[in-house]
Amino acid sequence: NAGVTQTPKFRILKIGQSMTLQCAQDMNHNYMYWYRQDPGMGLKLIYYSVGAGITDKGEVPNGYNVSRSTTEDFPLRLELAAPSQTSVYFCASSFPGQENNEQFFGPGTRLTVL
Amino acid sequence: ELKVEQNPLFLSMQEGKNYTIYCNYSTTSDRLYWYRQDPGKSLESLFVLLSNGAVKQEGRLMASLDTKARLSTLHITAAVHDLSATYFCAVDENNDMRFGAGTRLTVKP
């Protein structure tokens, strides 16, 4: 199993551009999450999904959109990129059947908005 | 609002010493997680604590949970350089996972 994969690894955007961060998992996990991590800080939840077709906002959803058309994929869309969105983005997944809901993280996407 | 507070935020230890990292949280959730993050890397799950009084140990690390006090601790025994990393605690309340700010641990010879 590849686990949780994310593309791209690095990206530089200009202010106002848009892009989609890709996330895929091959563990048949129903739950998927997007986080951002600013330098020297903990992770903040942007959006999460408990299954295909179901998404919900986390702590910091403004400026982002998500979709979940399949169990495997959970892309994160940035519209009108702003410098405040410069961060490292982590995708994670978990299996709801497990009582502990342990999350498995992807390698991250480092995004810079100039 | 769910809040998770860790202390200390920075910790410099000598090899062979013991120390404890504290994680306080504001919710009634009884699911608490500890993660490790190396510089420039992703997060690695260390412990999952699911009930009051839960204690888990792996090598030189031991985590415990007191849900009544809303406190978890990560105890480091006889620190070694390989333990240098940032350690995060996180609390899960209805799929809303909140992380602490992290404790950046440096173990010096």
Cβ-nearest to A108 among B42, B45, B88: B42
Mean pLDDT of B63-90: 95
Asked whether the beta carbons of residue B95 and residue A103 sit closer than 8 angstroms, the reply is: no
Asked: is A4-113 a CATH 1.10.287.3510 domain? The reply is: no
How many CB atoms neighbour CB B2 within 10 A?
Answer: 16
pLDDT tens sequence across B44-56: 999 999 888 889 9
Cβ of residue A44 closer than 8 Å to a chain B Cβ = yes
Contacts of A106 in chain B (CB under 8 A): 42
Scan residues 37-56 of B and list those with Cβ closer than 8 Å to A.
41-45, 48, 50
Mean pLDDT by groups of 10 residues along chain A of 114 residues = 93 96 95 94 93 94 96 96 97 79 92 96
Scan residues 84-103 of B and list those with Cβ closer than 8 Å to A.
88, 90, 92, 95-102
Question: Confidence class of residue B97 from pLDDT cuts 50, 70 and 90?
Answer: confident
pLDDT at residue B29 tops 80: no
Asked whether the beta carbons of residue A108 and residue B99 sit closer than 8 angstroms, the reply is: no
User: Chain B: residue nearest A10 by CA?
Assistant: B40
pLDDT at residue B95 tops 80: no
Going by DSSP bridges, is the β-strand pair A43-51/A31-37 parallel, antiparallel, or unpaired? antiparallel
CATH code for the part of the protein at B4-108:
2.60.40.10
Cβ of residue A58 closer than 8 Å to a chain B Cβ = yes
Domain coordinates in residue numbering, chain A: 4-113
Distances (CA, A) of A67 to A109, B22, B32, B41: 18, 37, 28, 26
Cβ of residue A61 closer than 8 Å to a chain B Cβ = no
pLDDT of residue A101: 74
Q: Are B5 and B88 in contact (CB under 8 A)?
A: no
Report residue B66 as tokens: 């007191």
Distances (CA, A) of A102 to B3, B12, B48, B49, B62: 19, 29, 7, 10, 18
Domain coordinates in residue numbering, chain B: 4-108
* Distance separating alpha carbons of residues A91 and B60, to the nearest angstrom: 29
Asked whether the beta carbons of residue B43 and residue A48 sit closer than 8 angstroms, the reply is: no
pLDDT tens sequence across B30-75: 789 999 999 999 999 999 998 888 899 999 999 999 999 999 999 9
